[in-house]
Chains A and B, each alone.
Chain A
Amino acid sequence: MQELGKAETNSTRIIRQDDKRVIIEKDLDTEYMVLSMGPQHPSTHGVLRLECITDGEVVVEAEPYLGYLHRCFEKHCENVDYPGIVPYTDRMDYLAGINSELAFCITVEKLLDIEIPRRVEFIRVITAELNRIASHLVAIGTYAIDLGAFTPFLFCFRDREHILSLLEWISGARMLYNYIWIGGLAYDVPADFKKRVAEFVTYFRPKAVELFKLLTENEIFVKRTYDIGIMPADVAINYGWSGPMLRGSGVRWDLRRNDPYSIYPELDFNVPVPDGKFSVVGDCLSRHLVRALEMEESLRIIEQSLDKMPDVAGFDSRALIPKKIRPKAGEVYGRAENPRGELGYYIVSDGKSTKPLRCKARSSCFVNLSAMKDLSKGQLIPDLVAIIGSIDIVLGEVDR
C-alpha cells in the first residue's frame, strides 16, 4: 500500500480570551482518503477506474486505471485478413462505428492502387457525418445526465433513434455497421435515400436549437462547467489532444481541413473554435460548445453532399473491390477525424500476405484521457465528474 500524506497534525491555539470565555481553535487530525471511482459506476461512461486521493471534497490527484475493456484488437488484426478487421474497428469506438471504419479503409487504400467512385465517397461522408451527429448526441446526453439533468438525455436518444433507423435502413444494423469496406461499400443506398436524409435534416435542425436552449444556455449547466478543468493550448498540444478537446482549447485543428481525406476539400463548412465570449477558452463548457456547434456543421455537410452526390443507374458499390486485398509492401499511418478526435491506424504490410504484420490503432480517447491526472489536481469531486464528461471517453477505444 502506498504511504498517503498526512495533513497538519494536532495543534491548539487560543484565539481570544476575556473574562467571560476562551475561544480555542484546534486543527483536526485529517488524512488523505483513497476513493476508487469505478470500474462500475454510473458516471464514468464505461469501465474506467479513477483512483482519487482526496482531502475531504478536494481531489489531490485522480489517476485513471485502464484495461478493463482491453479486447486485444491489435492481436486480432495480425490474425484476421484486412476485410475481416473492419467489424473489429467498429467495436472500438462503438458510438462512431462508421467513422472508425472510414479511418481504417482510407488507411489501407493508401497502400492499394484502386480508385474509389465518387458516389461511394459521398455516401461515406454522409453516413460518417450522420454518425458524428449521433455520437455527439450521446456525448451531450450522457454529459447532461452526469450533471443531473435527465430530460436532455431523453431528447438526445429520441433524435438518435432517427439516425439509427436511417443507418439500419442502409446497412442492416443499428449500431455496429460493417458498412464501409476497403475499396467501396457493402451495399448501395436504397432509392429514397436522398429524400429521407433531407427529411431528417429538416427535422433535426430545430431540435438541435431546442437542445441548445434547453441545456447549453441553462444557468445551472453553465455554472457547473464554466471555468472548470482549463487546459491551455500549448499543454494540450504537448499531450497530443485532438478533435473537440483541442478545438475547445482554442487551437483551430481539424483533420478534415488540415489533413484532408475523401471529398472534404470540396465541401464548405466551418470549424467552430470558442473565442472566450460564452465560456473560458479551454474549460469544460468550451469543449461542450464545440460538440454542440459541430452538429450544425455536420448538417451543412450532409446537405451539400446530398446535392453533389451523383446518381448512377445500376451502381454496384462492390465493383472496384479487389478479390483479395493484398496491399503492397510498406507502412502507412492514416487518420481521420472521429467525433472524439484523431483516430489513426499505423499499418505495416509485407506485400505478400492478406493479413497485416502490425496494425496499431491510435485512439483519440486514450490520448485525451492521459491528461486526466494533471487536469484533476485541486478539483472538487463533482467537478471531476464534469471534467470526465467533457473529455467524452468511450472505453472501447481507450482500451481497444
Chain B
Amino acid sequence: MGLLDARISNRNVLVTSVDNVMNWARLSSLWPMGFGLACCAIEMMATNASNYDLERFGIFPRSSPRQSDLMIVAGTVTMKMAERVVTLYEQMPEPRYVLSMGSCSNCGGPYWHHGYHVLKGVDRIIPVDVFVPGCPPRPEALIGGLMKIQELIRMEGLGISRQDALKKLAEKSVDPQQVIDQARRVVMA
C-alpha cells in the first residue's frame, strides 16, 4: 500500500522500475507449498487460520509444488522422507524459496543426538533461505520469517544471484549479539 500511495502523482501515473514492480508482485503473493510434516504443521495451519491470518499477506497455501514458489518445511524430515523432499523441491518452478520452520528442520531439533532416522537439518539436502527457530515457532515468528523472505525478494534484481541477495539480507539484519546486549542492559537497569 505504501509503495502505491507514495508513487502516484497528480496525473495518476506510477513511475517505477521493472525490478520493483516484479518483486512487489512476487512478494505480495507468495504461494507456499505448505510441506507440513509434524507439529510445526499445526502451527502453520494456525497461522493460516483466522487469528493470525496469513492470507492478508497474499499467502495462500497450495498443495501442488508446480503452483507454488515457496516451500515451508514444517516439521521433522526423516531419512525416509528426505528423497521425497528433494523430488518436491525439484518440481517447484524457479524462482523458488525455502523456509525451514522449526528446530527439527533447522538442525534435527530435539532428535539430534539419538535420532538415527532423523535428518539433522533440511539444509543437508536442499538450499534453505530463511531459518525460523522455535519448537514450534509461534505464528508471529513464522510471519516474521515470511517477512524476511519478502525482504529477500525485494532485494533481488535481474542481475543479482541468490547467494549475493542472501548476503545482503544478512548484512542488513540486526546483529544478534547487539540484541542480546541490549536486552541485558534493560534487565540490569
Contact = CB atoms under 8 A, between A and B. Distances in A.
The reply, when asked whether chain A contacts chain B directly with Cβ atoms under 8 A, is yes
Interface of A: 39-42, 46-47, 67-72, 75-76, 79-80, 87-88, 91, 94-95, 138, 153-154, 157-158, 160-161, 164, 174-176, 395-396
Contacts of A154: 49-50
Instruction: Kindly name the residue among A39, A75, A91 whose own CB sees the greatest number of chain B CB atoms within 10 A.
Output: A91
A144 to B, nearest CB: 13
Nearest to A165: B51
A399 to B, nearest CB: 8
Contacts of A76: 111, 114-115
Contacts of B76: 69, 71
Interface in B56-109: 63, 75-76, 78, 80-81, 84, 88
A39 B138 CA distance: 25
A174 B80 contact: no
Contacts of A160: 46
A39 B84 contact: yes
Interface stretch (B8-16, B35-43, B146-154): B35-43
A72 B37 contact: no
Contact of A396 (B38, B84, B113, B138): B38
24 contacts: A39-B81, A40-B84, A46-B41, A47-B81, A67-B80, A69-B37, A69-B78, A71-B78, A71-B111, A71-B115, A71-B117, A75-B114, A75-B115, A91-B39, A94-B39, A94-B42, A95-B42, A154-B49, A154-B50, A157-B45, A161-B46, A174-B136, A176-B39, A396-B38
B51 A94 contact: no
A69 B49 contact: no
B150 to A, nearest CB: 24
Contacts of B42: 94-95, 138, 175
A47 B37 CA distance: 6
Interface in B11-55: 35-39, 41-43, 45-46, 49-51
Given A47-B37, A69-B37, A88 B110 contact: yes
A175 B117 contact: no
B114 to A, nearest CB: 5
A72 B110 contact: no
B80 A70 contact: yes
Contacts of B183: none
Given A42-B63, A157-B45, A396-B38, A72 B51 contact: no
A72 B49 CA distance: 31
B122 interface: no
Contacts of B37: 46-47, 68-69
Contacts of A42: 63
A154 B53 CA distance: 10
A175 B136 contact: yes
Interface in B112-162: 113-118, 135-136, 138
A68 B78 contact: yes
Given A39-B81, A157-B51, A395-B38, 16 more contacts: A40-B35, A42-B63, A46-B41, A69-B81, A70-B78, A71-B78, A71-B117, A72-B118, A75-B115, A76-B114, A88-B110, A153-B49, A174-B43, A174-B138, A175-B136, A396-B39
A273 to B, nearest CB: 29
Interface string B148-182: 00000000000000000000000000000000000
B34 to A, nearest CB: 8
Instruction: Kindly name the residue among A40, A80, A176 whose own CB sees the greatest number of chain B CB atoms within 10 A.
Output: A40
Nearest to B49: A157
Instruction: Kindly name the residue among A87, A88, A157 whose own CB sees the greatest number of chain B CB atoms within 10 A.
Output: A157
Given A39-B84, A76-B115, A396-B39, A158 B49 contact: yes
Given A68-B81, A396-B39, A79 B113 contact: yes
Nearest to B115: A72
A340 B35 CA distance: 24
Nearest to A39: B84
Contacts of A175: 39, 42-43, 136
B61 to A, nearest CB: 8
A164 B110 CA distance: 22
Nearest to B88: A40
Contacts of B135: 176
Contacts of B38: 46, 69, 71, 91, 94, 395-396
A69 B104 CA distance: 11
Closest A-B pairs by Cβ, 8 of them:
A157-B49, A94-B39, A42-B63, A72-B115, A161-B51, A68-B81, A70-B117, A154-B50
A159 to B, nearest CB: 10
B116 A176 contact: no
Contacts of B41: 46
